[in-house]
A and B are shown apart, each in its own frame.
Chain A
Amino acid sequence: MIKPLLSVSGLGISTVQDPRTLVNSVSFEIMPGEAVGVVGESGSGKTLTALSILGLLPRGVAVAGGSIVFNGTDLTKADPETMRNLRGSDISMVYQDPMTALNPVMKLGRQLLEVIESHEKLDNGSVARVEAALREVGIPQVERAMESYPHEFSGGMRQRVMIAMALLLSPKLLIADEPTTALDVTIQQQILALVSEQRRKRDMSMLWITHDLGVVANLVDRLIVMYAGNIVEAGTVQEIFTNPQHPYTHGLLSSLPSRTDKSRKRLTSIPGVPQKPWLVGNTCAFAPRCFKATSECTASAPKLVGSLEKSVACFHPMGDK
C-alpha cells in the first residue's frame, strides 16, 4: 500500500489568548504525486490549515491539537531546525499576494539564491540554476530580471518569480494559497496553466487552497470542502462536481454560473452568513443555513465518514441522483 506523503489528522487551530477555535479537527491525506484542493469561504480555516503545515501561523494563533505527519515526521512536534530544513526544500509555498510576498529592497536574483543558500552551499552553478528556474516559469530577459527589484515587475510576473522560487529545490509538496486571487483573469489562466504543467512534469504533490471551485476543477485530483473550520465533504473532483452529498457543497455548486445555461435565471445563493468557527460548538456548523436541517443536526456534530473517493459529514446527505 502507498503511504501518504502528508497526513493531517484531528488538526485543531485556535487563538493563543482567550482560546477560540479557528480550525476544528481537520483530517486529510495527500498521496505522493496527488493534487488536493481545499475550497471554502473566507474564514473557513483553509489558509490557516495550509500555513500550519509549514509552521507559518500568524502571531497569536497556534496548533491546538492533532498531528501533521509529513514523510514520517510529525511537524507539530518538530524542532525549529527540522522545520527550517523542510521549508523551501521539501515543502514550499506560493502565497496569495505576489505584491507583498517579495522583499521590496532585495534584488530578485538574490531572493532566489537565498533559497539555495539556506539549504545547500552556494557555488558557481547556483546562478545558472536560478536563471534556469526563472526561464522555466516564463520570465523574459532572465539576466535583467535577476538584477531587478520586485517593484519593477507586474503582479503576474512576480507570481511567476514566486513559483520559480518555490520550485527551485524541487519540493515534494507545493502548497498554493490562492495564488491567482490577486491577479486579473487572463493572468490567472496563465498562472494556473504554468502550475499544472510544472506539477505534471515533476510529479509533485500539491495542496491548492482556493475559494473558487471553477479554478481547481481541472487542476486537482481530489477536493476538500471546508465550512466554518470543519471539513464538510471530501472526494474526487468528479464525485464532488457531479454528485455532491453535503447540502453546503450542493449550494456552492448551484451558485456557480454555467456557460451552457441560457435561461437567464438568477443564480441561487445560500441564505444567511457563515458562522464563526468558535461559536459552532457540538453541532453541525451548517445547520442554521441548511434547508435539510433537523433537530438531530443541532444536537451533535456529524462525523466525516466514507472513503478516500468520497466522504461527507452530514446527517442528511443529498443522496445519489
Chain B
Amino acid sequence: MSFGERTSRILLSTPVLRIGSIFTTLFGISIFVFLVLRVIPGDSIVGAFGIETGVLTPEQIAQLKIYYGIDKSLPMQYLSWMQSFLTGNMGYSYSTGISIASLTAKALPVTIELALIGTILGVVMGIAVGTFSARKPGSIRDFAGQLFGLMALAVPGFVLSTTIVTIMANKFHYFPNGYEFVRLWEDPWMNLQQMMFPGLVLGIAVAAPVMRTTRSALLETVDKDFVRTAIGKGVSPRKVQTRHILRNSLIPIVTMTGIQFGYLLGGAVIVENIFSLPGMGRQVLYAITRREYATVQSSVMVFAILFIAINVITDLIYRKVDPRIKK
C-alpha cells in the first residue's frame, strides 16, 4: 500500500468523516447564527438603552460601540467571538458582566434536566399509547389512541402551558413555579414539583410523534414471518409482543426519540419562560431582547453541540438495538 493510498484510506474512514462533518456543521451554524443576529434590526446599544438611545451623543455612541465591540468589521467581530468561545469563557454578558461560560454552567443543567424529564415522560406515554392503539387497529381504542396523538401534536406548547398555569394557580392554588427556582441537589422534592408541569408539557409534545411511530412500527412488525415463527413455537402472547414485536420496532422509535430530544431544546425556550425556569431558553431569549450577540451566539453553539451529541448517542443506541448494524 502506497503512502498516498493509506492516507486517503484513513481520511475517508467513517470516524474521520464523521468528526469532519461534525466540525463542518458547527462551523456553518456559527456563521449562520452570527449573520442572522446582525440582520435583526437594532444593536447592542439599542438593546441596552431602548428609546433612550435617541438622546445619546455621537461621541457616546462611538464609545459604546467600542465597549460592545461592534465598532470592528464583521469578520473581526466573528473572529474575536470565536477566539473567546474556543478559549473557554465564551465571551461576556454585558448586562451582568459575568462570563457566558459561567452563565451556561448554571443554565444548562436546568435545560438538560427538563429535556430528560420531558423525553422520559414522552417516551413512556408514546410507547404505551402506541402499543395500546396497535393492539387492535381500527378499533375504538385505536381511535382513542390516535385522537390523543393528534391532539398532542396539534396543541401548541404555549397553549398547554398557559392552560396549566391558569387552572393550577387559579383553581387549585398550587403553583410551585411561583417560588424561586430550586436546584435538584438543593431540594429534590421541590425541584421535581417545579419540573413536573413544564416536563409534562414537553412530554406530551414528544409523546405524539413517538406514539405514531410506535403504532406504525408495531403494525408493520406484527405481520413479519419471525412473529409467526414465535407464535408457532408456543411463545406466550405477552412475550411475543415484547420480545419479538416491540423489540424489533425499537429502531424507528429510537430515531424519533432522538429527533424529539433535539427539538425539546428548542421547545424549552418557550416552556422555560412560561414556568420561569432559569435554563438556556430563558438565557437566549433575554440575550436576544438585549442584543447581546455573544451570549446568543455562544448559547446557540451549545445547543448545536448538544444536538450533535444526541445524534451520536442515537447512533450508538442503534448498535445496541440492532446487531445487524456493523461497528
Contact = CB atoms under 8 A, between A and B. Distances in A.
B234 A85 contact: yes
7 contacts: A56-B231, A87-B231, A87-B233, A93-B232, A103-B230, A114-B230, A151-B324
Given A87-B234, A88-B233, A92-B233, A103 B244 contact: yes
Given A89-B234, A105-B321, 7 more contacts: A88-B234, A95-B232, A102-B229, A103-B248, A104-B248, A115-B233, A118-B236
Contacts of A115: 233-234
A106 to B, nearest CB: 7
A97 interface: yes
A86 interface: yes
B235 A114 contact: yes
Interface string B216-256: 00000011111011111111110100011001100000000
B243 A118 contact: no
A95 B225 CA distance: 9
A149 interface: yes
A59 interface: yes
Contact of B324 (A92, A97, A104): A104
Contacts of A93: 232
A209 to B, nearest CB: 14
A95 B229 contact: yes
Contacts of A105: 247-248, 321-324
Interface in B192-231: 222-226, 228-231
Interface size class of B (residues with CB under 8 A): 20 to 34
Contacts of A149: 323-324
Contacts of B228: 56, 95, 101
Contacts of A119: 234
A59 B237 CA distance: 15
Nearest to B228: A56
Interface residues of A, number: 30
B179 to A, nearest CB: 47
A100 B226 contact: yes
A101 B225 contact: yes
A97 B225 contact: yes
Interface string B161-201: 00000000000000000000000000000000000000000
B236 A103 contact: no
A164 interface: no
A149 B248 CA distance: 14
A102 B234 CA distance: 15
In the complex, the 8 A-B pairs of residues with the closest C-beta atoms, listed nearest first: A88-B234, A88-B233, A87-B234, A100-B225, A118-B234, A103-B226, A149-B323, A101-B225
Nearest to B231: A56
A103 B222 CA distance: 12
A84 B236 contact: yes
Nearest to A58: B223
Contacts of B321: 105
Contact of A118 (B226, B233, B247, B248): B233
Contacts of B231: 56, 87
Contact of A103 (B229, B234, B237): B229
A287 interface: no
A54 B229 contact: no
A25 B323 CA distance: 45
A30 interface: no
A101 B236 CA distance: 18
Contacts of B234: 84-89, 115, 118-119
